[in-house]
A = this chain, B = another copy of it.
Amino acid sequence: MNRQLSEEKVFKDPVHKYIYVQDQTIWDLINTKEFQRLRRIRQLGTSYLTFHGAEHSRFSHSLGVYEITRKIISQFERNGFPGWPQEERLLALCAALLHDVGHGPFSHSLEQVFDTHHEQWTCNILLEDTEVNRILRNVADDFPEHVTAVINKTYPNPIVSGLISSQLDADRMDYLLRDAYFTGVNYGNFDLERILRVLRPIDGKIVVKESGMHAVEHYLMSRYQMYWQIYFHPVTRSSEIILRQIFRRAKELYEGGYVFCWMPEPLKRLLDGTIAVKDYLKLDEAYLQTAFTEWGDEGDELLAELCDRFLTRRLYKYIMLDKPDISLFNEVRQQFAAIGLNPDYHMEIDFPFDQPYDVYQPDTKKGGKEEKTPILLMDGYEAVSEISTKSDIIRSITGLHQGQSHLYYPEEKLRASADQLSDKVRKLFKI
């Protein structure tokens, strides 16, 4: 059972000015230990090492997604649009608030090394014995399952999922604005109010009134800029590489029977793959950073070096690569080995890649979740069409596959042995 709060409560938020809470259930969910834990997990992982303002947490982003969802629904209700199922309001708000509750510390890097997925942890936290689960079950016995289904995009009423996962959803809208604000760039500043005003719920989908086409173009361009200028920034990529290498080295050592000076239960279970919710919830970014501090004194030199690199921001440098060249790479590997570097760690190729907008909705979905729902425009006669059929500029960028290869390496070590490198390699690394 949900009830209205006797008095609306607010959170001061730099992006939305205020975030308004009107439901007891939402208030209680925010106060659970699982949700409060998101305060200790950064929204942008290691980006703060590139953009020092980017310290904001998944807690603030989750509130932001909730607030945008609340505003969209409020607009639907105020206008009495028949396409919006009013009884799903609380369900949509809970799903918006909780969609990221399963994120772990430095999620993307962690997930690439250990076989773990934040989506799965979100389900576990919603469905197992947690404070969040208790609050949701207070609403109705099957409410935790419903919220989970919305987040997994398996809920029978697809419009509810559409609010929080599509190519124009509350999640993306909040993170573009929020990440722009905290990094201090202005690339992500699209006109949120305008977009909210032109959304319409029709036939189980959220569509955009044709008059909002240019605002959506602007939003897609903002997203594109944020990918290339923030999310794929080479310095951030370098710090993610170091982070993955720390995880990889620790796993190697652990599996080899190495005895760590500090190896508490939650970390041990992460490394041996037996971790469950209770320990997972202890794994915040403070916990991992403390591990790195402690491991900085480990006997294993490689692990100690990597931890030190991460904490003191002595990251790998990079060069840009035009195209793959296997023989060149082999030469580099050999020469790295020859001067005492570890080619499995001291060089890594990275190829970040983004599509500004994808018109196709693929058949196969990973894990029940697929966010590539196309953006639909509705004209004055209520005819609906995919946006790239109307917008020249979106059509011209649709399907554009963009990427750029970089090779990361410890520059100071390379320079120290410069005289032992071949001319070709020296030239490649501008030494």
**Which of A140-148, A186-194, A243-251, A341-349 sits within the interface?**
A186-194
Q: A52 with B11: in contact, given A229-B214, A286-B286, A293-B287 (CB under 8 Å)?
A: yes
Chain B contacts of A182 at CB under 8 A?
Answer: 14, 53, 182
Q: Within 8 Å of chain B (Cβ to Cβ): is A384?
A: no
Chain B contacts of A12 at CB under 8 A?
Answer: 51, 53, 183-185
Q: Within 8 Å of chain B (Cβ to Cβ): is A99?
A: no
How far apart are the CA atoms of A400 and B186 in the complex, in Å? 26
Q: A225 with B229: in contact, given A189-B189, A293-B287, A313-B36 (CB under 8 Å)?
A: no
* Distance in Å: Cβ of A329 to nearest Cβ of chain B: 21
Residue-wise, chain A 263-275 has the 8 Å CB interface mask toward B (1 for contact) of 0100000000000
- Near B by CB (< 8 A), chain A positions 10-62 give 10-15, 17-18, 31-33, 36-37, 39-40, 42, 48-49, 51-53, 55-57, 59-60
B225 and A53 contacting across the interface, CB-CB below 8 Å: no
Q: A289 with B40: in contact, given A13-B53, A186-B191, A402-B392 (CB under 8 Å)?
A: yes
Contact partner of A286 (CB less than 8 A), chosen from B14, B183, B215, B293, is: B293
A39 and B48 contacting across the interface, CB-CB below 8 Å: yes
Q: Within 8 Å of chain B (Cβ to Cβ): is A393?
A: yes
How far apart are the CA atoms of A282 and B218 in the complex, in Å? 41
Task: Give the size category of A's interface with B.
Answer: 35 or more
A14 and B224 contacting across the interface, CB-CB below 8 Å: no
A393 and B356 contacting across the interface, CB-CB below 8 Å: yes
B36 and A311 contacting across the interface, CB-CB below 8 Å: yes
Residue-wise, chain A 372-410 has the 8 Å CB interface mask toward B (1 for contact) of 000000000000000000001100110010100000000
Q: A186 with B185: in contact, given A214-B229, A397-B396 (CB under 8 Å)?
A: no
Contact partner of A56 (CB less than 8 A), chosen from B31, B53, B393, is: B53
Chain B contacts of A215 at CB under 8 A?
Answer: 229
B402 and A397 contacting across the interface, CB-CB below 8 Å: no
Contact partner of A183 (CB less than 8 A), chosen from B14, B282, B312, is: B14
Q: Within 8 Å of chain B (Cβ to Cβ): is A411?
A: no
A52 and B40 contacting across the interface, CB-CB below 8 Å: no
* Distance in Å: Cβ of A199 to nearest Cβ of chain B: 14
Q: Within 8 Å of chain B (Cβ to Cβ): is A127?
A: no
A52 and B10 contacting across the interface, CB-CB below 8 Å: no
- Near B by CB (< 8 A), chain A positions 142-188 give 181-187
The chain B residue with its CB closest to the CB of A75 is B8
A214 and B228 contacting across the interface, CB-CB below 8 Å: yes
Chain B contacts of A33 at CB under 8 A?
Answer: 308, 311-312
The 10 closest A-B pairs by CB, nearest first: A14-B184, A286-B289, A290-B290, A286-B286, A55-B55, A33-B312, A396-B396, A14-B53, A221-B221, A52-B60
What are 22 residue pairs bridging A and B, where the CB atoms are less than 8 Å apart in the complex?
A: A12-B51, A12-B183, A12-B184, A14-B182, A18-B197, A33-B308, A36-B313, A48-B57, A52-B57, A52-B63, A53-B56, A182-B182, A185-B191, A186-B190, A186-B191, A215-B229, A218-B221, A221-B221, A282-B293, A286-B286, A287-B290, A289-B290
